[in-house]
């Protein structure tokens, strides 16, 4: 840490010098323009960029299939708007993997292709991105997936189960958007200012989005098991429906707490959701006792479904804890 003494020039202007080492490393010299951002009692100084577009190059000669897909997704989340993928010769399988990765992203397209390079670009206007809207959309999709997964189970409807599994891609795409926005706010104060959301709140939204992604994953797991099961005994089906209703209420209360502008309301909803999580364990044990009388294979599958519903409630509880932290007074 370095310290600088504030001086007054011209009788009304406060000035402070910049550390020479920082200025040199960031290309700041006499006549350069810097951007200054105010964040409560903190003042942030950053070099002015000539362009907002970030371009990155990735050598993919040794990458293929899932490794290549993950590499493209990582470049996207890291904040690159233009991603240049290069190799001596890009194979057909590599091109297929690149297209698969692009299909999993929002607003991203292949804009240029050659024998040894593929250029991928994010065409979505950053001003149109909203972390709040993305998390809200994740909430709607994840909770509806969980509800439909249980419906597919108790009604033995494979079509609904398949639809739930397909919708998981939508949640994954939105989570990547949330992750990209969150990382952008960590790198640049300009990004946080453009969003109109503090970096602390972005962290809370990102953390909660991760929980919603897990809820969606468990909805997929329930749907996959539902497709393998025949009719579920009526008593067990009714008990699972009740458990889902309780888990869903916890998730909804937690999300309401997260988005509440009034801290008192957020605190009230957050505590109510966490208290309800404690009741889930007893409910789960009751259903588990019911499964002991069933045929072993069926009991095992229903036990996994029971675990998924219980975990979904726990994820709602995690969101409630985040909401309480977000609502708490800040130093």
Any idea what DSSP says for residue 197?
Answer: S
Residue 95: pLDDT band (50, 70, 90) is very high
Q: Concatenated DSSP letters for 161-174?
A: HHHHHHHHHHHHHH
Highest mean pLDDT of the ranges 19-28, 59-68, 245-254, 288-297: 245-254
Which position has the higher pLDDT, 129 or 214?
214
In this structure, of 140-149, 190-199, 319-328, the range with the lowest mean pLDDT score is 190-199
In CATH terms, the superfamily for domain 129-327 is Phosphate transport system protein phou homolog 2; domain 2 (1.20.58.220)
Distance, CA of 313 to CA of 302 (rounded, Å)? 17
The conformational region for residue 107 under phi > 0 = left, psi -120 to 50 = alpha, else beta, is left
For residues 22, 24, 26, 27, the Cα torsion angle rounded to the nearest 10 degrees is 150
Residue 151: pLDDT band (50, 70, 90) is very high
Helix (H) or strand (E) holding 44, with range, is strand 42-47
- Residues whose CB falls within 8 Å of the CB of residue 41, separated by 6 or more in sequence, listed in order: none
E-only strand ranges, the chain:
7-9, 13-15, 34-39, 42-47, 55-59, 82-86, 108-113, 117-122
pTM: 0.87
**Residue ranges of the domains in the chain?**
7-47, 55-126, 129-327
**Which two tokens mark 194?**
């453009």
Mean pLDDT computed over every residue of the chain: 89
The conformational region for residue 68 under phi > 0 = left, psi -120 to 50 = alpha, else beta, is alpha
Which position has the higher pLDDT, 258 or 196?
258
Residue 126: pLDDT band (50, 70, 90) is low
Contact between 149 and 226 (Cβ < 8 Å): yes
Residue 27: pLDDT band (50, 70, 90) is confident
Contact between 168 and 270 (Cβ < 8 Å): no
The β-bridge partners of 112 are: 119
pLDDT of 148 higher than 90 = yes
Q: Which CATH number fits domain 55-126: 3.90.1150.10, 3.30.110.20, 2.60.40.10, 1.10.3720.10?
A: 3.30.110.20
């Amino acid at each position: 840490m370095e310290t600088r003494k504030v001086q007054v020039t011209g009788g009304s202007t406060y000035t402070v010098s910049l550390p020479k080492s920082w200025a040199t490393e960031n290309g700041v010299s006499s006549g350069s323009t810097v951007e200054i951002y105010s964040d409560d009692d903190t003042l942030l100084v950053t070099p002015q960029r000539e362009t907002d577009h970030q371009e990155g190059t990735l050598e993919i000669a040794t990458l293929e299939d899932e490794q290549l897909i993950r590499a493209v997704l990582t470049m996207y989340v890291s904040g690159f708007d233009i991603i240049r993928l290069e190799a001596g010769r890009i194979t057909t399988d590599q091109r297929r993997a690149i297209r698969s990765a692009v299909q999993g992203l929002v607003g991203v397209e292949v804009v240029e292709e050659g024998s040894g390079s593929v250029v991928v670009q994010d065409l979505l206007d950053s001003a149109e991105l909203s972390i709040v809207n993305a998390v809200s959309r994740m909430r709607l999709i994840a909770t509806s997936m969980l509800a439909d997964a249980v419906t597919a189970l108790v009604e033995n409807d494979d079509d609904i189960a398949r639809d739930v599994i397909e919708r998981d891609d939508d949640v994954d795409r939105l989570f990547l958007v949330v992750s990209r926005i969150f990382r952008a706010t960590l790198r640049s104060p300009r990004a946080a200012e453009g969003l109109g959301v503090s970096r602390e709140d972005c962290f809370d939204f990102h953390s909660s989005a991760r929980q919603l992604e897990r809820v969606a994953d468990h909805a997929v797991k329930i749907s996959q098991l539902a497709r393998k099961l025949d009719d579920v005994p009526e008593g067990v089906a009714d008990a699972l429906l009740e458990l889902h209703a309780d888990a869903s209420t916890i998730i909804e209360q937690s999300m309401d707490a997260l988005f509440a502008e009034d801290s008192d309301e957020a605190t009230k909803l957050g505590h109510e959701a966490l208290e309800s999580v404690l009741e889930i364990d007893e409910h789960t044990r009751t259903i588990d006792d019911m499964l002991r009388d069933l045929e072993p294979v069926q009991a095992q599958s229903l036990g996994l479904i029971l675990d998924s519903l219980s975990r979904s409630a726990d994820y709602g509880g995690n969101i409630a804890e985040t909401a309480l932290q977000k609502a708490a007074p800040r130093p």
